[in-house]
């Protein structure tokens, strides 16, 4: 007897891709069938469902758990991240961006940074490390970080602030000693971020596809390795929203494989994958 191999029907593949796109802007397509099937399998196992068609019946039924969309987005989003990922960006931040913001605003105002699509926290904790070091040398410097993501499971992980030694490895040894606590259990390879850094970051659930307004404008937005999953019109809309959330002369960092080239947005390139808000563009 031949074994029945279950796969998503073309119709279900289409329906799931549209639902994900509608809710998150994440543009899955038929080429990603294998990836999508693998990730849906995890949801099916949790729900004790045996086939993709049963899962889709559940997903598109009127009485499904409203939380299933969140679970689905969690399952299909790519959360890969690292401490000090694309580390040239942190050099640009220190050498170019902070001095420019200080020259513009004076040093008295607290700088607000936003890590949009922060995943499990490695990016905002890296920012907190780098900026805490900067503040040691510039005592008048103050900062705060807002870190947001659509995925509730990565946000929980980020808030726990517990990482394995392998994950923390890209942090230079001296900074590792200063900003991470070892577990009391000497055999454990887990480390926790020190409270001094944790209190600098506010983690919040935020879907970049929805209308949002920050309580106050940001000076710097890090949105790296997020737009790669969006189509071009979605990217353009998002960057116009970012420009509205930035102070005049504020900065946006994107991933090195991402670009705003040929987009009609009020952001001008100033360094590789770094943009500054053009003067005269309003917040409203
Ligand atoms: C590949 S990770 C990048 C993490 C980090 N910025 C970095 O560069 O290491 C992309 C993150 O974007 C989040 N994301 C995807 N779509 C989103 C949306 N519509 N709103 C908010 N976050 C989203 C994903 O959940 C994921 O955690």
Reply yes or no on whether the pLDDT at 1 is more than 50. no
Gap from CA of 85 to ligand 1 centroid (Å): 14
Gap from CA of 116 to ligand 1 centroid (Å): 7
Tell me the mean pLDDT in the region 253-266: 94
Q: Report residue 43's pLDDT band, with 50, 70 and 90 as the boundaries.
A: very high
Residue in 39, 178, 182, 237 annotated catalytic: 39
CATH classification code of 88-277: 3.40.50.150
Contacts of 38 (CB under 8 A, 6+ apart): none
Measured between alpha carbons, how far is 117 from 121 in angstroms, rounded to an integer? 9
Q: Which of 27, 77, 227 to mutate to test the pocket of ligand 1 (most atoms within 8 A of CB)?
A: 77
SS3 at position 257: coil
CATH classification code of 10-76: 1.10.155.10
pTM for the whole structure: 0.94
Reply yes or no on whether the pLDDT at 107 is more than 70. no
User: Where along the chain do its domains lie?
Assistant: 10-76, 88-277
| 119 Cβ inside 6 Å of ligand 1 | yes
Q: Cβ(238)–Cβ(208) under 8 Å? A: yes
DSSP state of 95: I
Gap from CA of 8 to ligand 1 centroid (Å): 25
Asked whether the domain spanning 88-277 has the same topology as the one spanning 10-76, the reply is no
Q: Is 6 a catalytic residue?
A: no
SS3 at position 63: coil
Q: What is the DSSP string of 188-221?
A: --EEEE-HHHHTTEEEEE--TTS----SS-EEEE
pLDDT digits (tens, 9 = 90+) for 83-102: 999 999 999 999 999 999 98
Q: Is 149 a catalytic residue?
A: yes
């Amino acid at each position: 007897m031949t074994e029945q191999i279950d796969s998503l029907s073309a119709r279900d593949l289409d329906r799931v891709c549209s639902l994900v796109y509608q809710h998150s802007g994440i543009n899955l397509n038929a080429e990603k069938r294998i990836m999508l099937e693998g990730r849906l399998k995890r949801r099916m196992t949790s729900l004790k469902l045996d086939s993709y068609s049963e899962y889709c019946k559940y997903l598109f039924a009127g009485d499904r758990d409203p939380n299933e969309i969140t679970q689905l987005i969690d399952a299909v989003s790519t959360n890969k991240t690292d401490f000090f990922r694309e580390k040239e960006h942190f050099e640009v931040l220190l050498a170019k961006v902070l001095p420019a913001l200080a020259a513009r605003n004076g040093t008295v105002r607290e700088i607000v940074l936003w890590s949009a699509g922060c995943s499990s926290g490695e990016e905002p904790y890296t920012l907190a490390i780098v900026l805490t070091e900067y503040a040691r040398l510039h005592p008048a410097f103050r900062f705060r970080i807002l870190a947001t993501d659509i995925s509730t499971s990565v946000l929980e992980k980020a808030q726990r602030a517990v990482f394995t030694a392998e994950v923390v490895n890209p942090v230079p040894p001296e900074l590792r000693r200063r900003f991470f606590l070892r577990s009391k259990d000497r055999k454990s390879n887990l480390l926790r971020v020190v409270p001094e850094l944790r209190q600098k970051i506010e983690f919040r659930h935020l879907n970049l596809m929805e209308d949002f307004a920050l309580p106050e404008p940001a000076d710097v937005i890090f949105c790296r390795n997020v737009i790669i999953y969006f189509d071009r019109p979605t990217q353009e809309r998002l960057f116009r929203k970012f420009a509205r959330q930035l102070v005049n002369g504020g900065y946006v960092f994107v991933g090195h494989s991402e670009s705003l080239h040929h987009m009609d947005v009020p952001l001008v390139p100033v360094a590789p994958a770094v943009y500054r808000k053009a003067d005269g563009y309003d917040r409203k």
